[in-house]
């Protein structure tokens, strides 16, 4: 159980870092959560990420099964659209 709690902490710390830097990953799924040899979780595959401060759009590809409402355009950050 301790490992699961540590991994949850690693994952949420990574997501918090993205949030604080106004970045949306847009493709969080098991395949994109990596484990180091020291059992530290890392987020990978930022090919679909969206920088909220960017001036030009990025690739719109995403894995629909794991896409968030924000990534699919159903939520604008404050309410459902």
> Catalytic annotation on 51?
no
Q: Distance between CA 81 and CA 69 in Å, rounded?
A: 10
Catalytic residue among 27, 45, 51, 76: 27
How would you class 67 by CB atoms within 10 Å of its CB: exposed for 0-12, middle for 13-18, buried for 19 or more?
middle
How far apart CA 62 and CA 69 sit, in angstroms, is: 12
Catalytic residues: 27
């Amino acid at each position: 159980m301790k490992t699961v709690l540590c991994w949850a902490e690693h994952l949420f710390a990574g997501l918090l870092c993205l949030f604080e830097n106004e970045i949306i990953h847009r493709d969080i799924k098991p395949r994109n959560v990596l484990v180091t040899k020291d059992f530290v979780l890392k987020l990978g595959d930022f090919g679909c990420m969206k920088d909220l401060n960017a001036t030009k759009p990025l690739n719109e590809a995403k894995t629909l099964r794991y896409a968030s409402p924000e990534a699919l355009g159903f939520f604008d950050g404050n309410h459902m659209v």
